[in-house]
Structure 1
């Protein structure tokens, strides 16, 4: 998601340099912008938590304090989540939620766009964002998810899904050609008024995994059912992890993809966990 241009006088930097294509460029996702909570506090496993890996250099405490204060003063209502040095002398990275901007030490100029290592032809912004989106898989409350196991189930992926999400259904059709995987589905009803009702009926059915597959693959809904569900907890978790649309995939190696991957790309991400 691009940083919202709500700040008067914010300069935009549009790079004319060629950027390497990202491997997940073909992902498909249905989003609901209203789920955005840029000022949400970090939670275990969420961006900004100690479990998120980072190799970015750190500025001094004084630099961090000065830039944070100046940025938040110049742009009221914007919360700075982090400040880091960049390889470019005098240029600092400013993290706002899962968005990155760049500024000088006095916050006299702010740039939005990709920082490119022209010599190595690397998109440093894209690489940094990939790190920020990593989530420790073991931190996810998997008991709040529907568990489906294929083959040995050795490879794992957690997915935030809405029962009315067409791309989620497409993902499940793709998963029929994937073996040795465990899929944890966090019901995340955000797209339609009846999404919560469908999610509840599926979770409360006698066999949620069977009911979920029947609906997502075959279009067969279970009977109406009532029980306690983790849906509200899932919605809160999704907001904290800044899930903006469905499906959102979280892999066991900490990687994340926002959208449904085509078959070969999905297999590659799962294969990165090791074949079994």
Structure 2
């Protein structure tokens, strides 16, 4: 609630409590794009706080004044409807960022017509990541498709990173990843791999440990969740 108070206070102090028309929106977009090289016009929209603009650079969301001078990084809460709007926008942004990677960059276990799809940031040498992978067939049986993104926790200079690159560059990615997660050696390979991009996205989302599960809603859930419990959560039968 303190973050929400700060957002309101900044908006009030700046005198930004009027609705922006189309011309004002275009002026604001120009000012913001001049300030931030990686922001496009479609990334800038009016926010729930009148006069402030919401900027989305997947997976980041922040609020900014029309002249691009003041930035507010915090949560916007709709008290009337009891909704955390920033969290909703951020989750939508996480989904967009993951889908922008393209499923062809992932190692996927399970059919396309599965009831649920869960994207998992995984480290080959992580014990709980290995435990999750041991149960991948059971996740599939529960109607859950598992899409792996690489997240070598030790960094991009680590042995875990090299193992991930070798798995993603293998002719049979699934077999190589499975062998590596079982502690078996796989042939060292290099290619135009997506591991660095996966790792950078995980950092941007705030992944700090593995496995990290991303639901179709964009919600990020840290840690191992057993197949039946995960199915119950996804089917709305059990809280996280």
What is the TM-score of this pair, normalised by structure 2?
A: 0.61
The structure with higher relative contact order (CA 8 Å, sep 6+) is 1
Is 1:183 the counterpart of 2:159? The answer is: no
Q: What is the rounded CA distance, in whole Å, between the counterparts of 1:96 and 1:221 in structure 2? A: 39
Q: For residue 15 of structure 1, what is the aligned residue in structure 2?
A: 4
1:267: which partner in 2? Answer: 231
- Cα offset, 1:255, TM superposition: 3.8
Structure 2 residue runs of 5 or longer lacking an equivalent are 7-18
Check the 8 A contact 1:167/1:259 in 2, yes or no: no
**Structure 1 position 194, deviation (Å):** 0.5
Q: Over residues 240-273 of structure 1, what are the superposed CA-to-partner deviations in whole Å (9 max), with x where a residue is unaligned?
A: 785554545455x56453633534663246447x
Asked whether the equivalents of residues 149 and 198 of structure 2 are also in contact (C-alpha less than 8 Å), the reply is no
RMSD of aligned residue pairs (Cα, Å): 4.3
Relative to structure 1, is the Cα distance of residues 67 and 247 closer, same or farther in structure 2, using a 3 angstrom cutoff?
Answer: farther
State whether residues 211 and 221 of structure 1, in contact with CA within 8 Å, keep that contact through their aligned partners in structure 2: no
1:229 deviates by: 4.4
Structure 1 or 2: more helix by fraction: 2
Q: Hey, what does 2:50 align to over in structure 1?
A: 89
Quote the Cα distance in structure 2 between the aligned partners of 1:222 and 1:269: 35
1:196 matched to which residue of 2?
161
Q: Distance in 1 between matches of 2:100 and 2:29?
A: 29
1:127 aligns to 2:88 (yes or no): yes
| Correspondence for 2:16 | none
Distance 2:69 2:98 in 1: 39
The question of whether the paired residues in 2 share the 8 Å contact of 1:161 and 1:247 is answered with yes
2:129 maps to which residue? Answer: 168
* Structure 2 residue 173 is the aligned partner of structure 1 residue 212: no
Gaps of 5+ in 1: 1-12, 18-57
Shift of 1:140: 5.7
Q: Mapping of 1:1-276 within 5 angstroms?
A: 14-15=3-4, 60-71=21-32, 79-81=38-40, 82-107=43-68, 109-135=70-96, 141-149=102-110, 155-166=116-127, 168-169=129-130, 171-172=132-133, 175=136, 178=139, 179=141, 180-189=143-152, 191-192=154-155, 193-202=158-167, 208-216=173-181, 219-223=182-186, 225-227=187-189, 229=191, 232-236=193-197, 239=200, 242=204, 245=207, 246-251=210-215, 253=216, 255=218, 257=220, 259-260=222-223, 262-263=225-226, 266-268=230-232, 270-271=234-235
Q: What number of residue pairs does the alignment pair up?
A: 212
TM-score (norm 1): 0.55
Residues 110-142 of structure 1, C-alpha deviation per residue, up to 9 Å, x if partnerless? 432111111222111111112222249887644
Distance in 1 between residues matched to 2:173 and 2:199, nearest whole Å: 20
Q: Secondary structure at the match of 2:164?
A: helix
